[in-house]
Amino acid sequence: MKKPIIKVETSIENHSKTNNSRRRFLKMGGLAVAGSSLLLYGCSDDDDMDPVTPPDGVFDLGAGNLGILNYAYALEQLEADFYTRVIEGNYYKALPDGEEKTLLEDVWYHEVIHREFFRTAITAVAPDDITPDLEFDYGDLNFDDRDSVLATALILEDTGVAAYNGAGKLIDVTAANGDVYLTLAGKIVSVEARHASAFADLINPGTTAFARDGILVDLGGTGLSYDRATPPSEILAAAGGFITTEFTANQLPTD
């Protein structure tokens, strides 16, 4: 059987040679994920990797590890969509070549890779039960304004860290690939935390904002030194303001 081919589609065109190289890296990185210990086999070269939208009713994320994967996939769709809009906006386009512009582009690539990983992983095991392509509305968020973009990016990244921390304990490591899912979630959450620190430093350079106390919690009187772990119900309630596609999470644990 053939390994699945990951389709990575973006709305960004006419990038420089450097960006074309990054796009090739993105595709190679996605294929490396497909060839990992998840052993995502069973898709032919002609298989359509697009999610299946339920013909009737409202999609539910599902139960068990599938539900957690669908949950993470929904959040990664949001982040990938947000950063795609960022680099289509005038704030990004007006930036001179340098660290800030590179950071935004790199975060965009990371989030697209994360989204495509979950698309591939879920399609390999449950092609008829994957979260559909979601639509988003950011209200009056001004993607041409630096302060608005960076503040929202920081909120999304902090939320992502709390979401992965909260979902990790819900993964059944005794189920098929459960231990692999948990390991990969740990790898992704560390990247999300780096994103959050980078954006915090952009907003308040030369300070300790990258490790600010406001995002940390105390466990057992040890002091503020741990990231939050937030249950899916709270994360979805917070992110729901951006997501216009209706879905439910009735089978996921509430805490």
Residue 11 lies in a domain: no
Percentage above 90 pLDDT, the chain: 66
In single-letter form, the type of residue at position 227 comes to D
Q: Does residue 93 sit within a domain?
A: yes
Cα–Cα distance measured from residue 141 to residue 161, given in angstroms and rounded to the nearest whole number = 22
Confidence of residue 12 (pLDDT cuts 50, 70, 90): very low
Q: Say if residue 90's pLDDT is above 70.
A: yes
Q: How far is CA 94 from CA 18, 86, 90, 100, in A?
A: 18, 12, 6, 11
Q: Which domain holds residue 180?
A: 17-248
197-237: pLDDT as tens digits: 999 999 999 998 888 888 888 988 989 888 899 999 999 99
39 located within any domain: yes
**Res. 164: pLDDT tops 90:** yes
Q: Is residue 2 part of a domain?
A: no
Is the pLDDT at 45 greater than 70? The verdict is: no
In a domain, 221, yes or no: yes
Work out the pLDDT band at 56, boundaries 50, 70, 90: low
Query: Cα(201)–Cα(203) distance, rounded to whole angstroms?
Result: 5
* Residues 92/104, Cβ–Cβ less than 8 Å: yes
pLDDT at position 240: 82
Q: Is residue 212 included in any domain, yes or no?
A: yes
The tens digit of pLDDT for each residue in 111-127 reads 999 999 999 999 999 99
Residue 244: the pLDDT is 95
Please tell me the predicted confidence (pLDDT) of residue 212: 84
Report CA-CA distances (Å) from 43 to 2, 3, 73, 234: 6, 6, 19, 35
Average pLDDT over the chain reads: 82
Instruction: Judge whether 4 lies within some domain.
Output: no
Give a yes or no: residue 202 inside a domain: yes
Query: Number of folded domains in the chain?
Result: 1
